[in-house]
Amino acid sequence: MKLLTANFLTCAVKGCKAAASSYPLHFKDAELELQEIDFQPEFIHNIIPRIDWEGLRVMANELGFPKIPDLKPEGDALNDEQTMRDLHRLLLETHVVEGRLCCGNCGHEYMIKEGIANFLLPSHLV
């Protein structure tokens, strides 16, 4: 599971849908793996507008990545190769292999095994 995925995920519990704190989910005990792929600046340019920047910042921070820019890069900042390479590494090359994703609202933890996050709920939460 590439780290960028977390930008699109939220808690599966119905009661959490309306709660702001159910996004982003928080990684716990995440075991990361780097799988190098070709650097494609155009791809990163086109992904950036699709990203919720605050959610990404929270995630990068919690996982101990080097600080990413406070604001979403636009205009000239998109031509800063180092920033684009850092984002490429963070978004597309870094995978979560094992660990948990936790909801900040209900506290439920979703297990990640071999890169597959399990969002099936126990019967009492369905």
Contact positions vs another protein (CB under 8 A): 1-2, 4-5, 8-12, 23, 37-38, 40-43, 45-50, 75-76, 78-79, 92, 111, 114-123, 126
Token reading at 70? 């406070």
Token reading at 61? 């921070």
Nearest residue (CB) to another protein, 63 versus 78? 78
In the chain the first and final C-alpha atoms are separated, in Å, by: 24
Nearest residue (CB) to another protein, 47 versus 102? 47
CB of 44 to another protein, least distance (A): 9
Number of Cβ within 10 Å of residue 27's Cβ equals 19
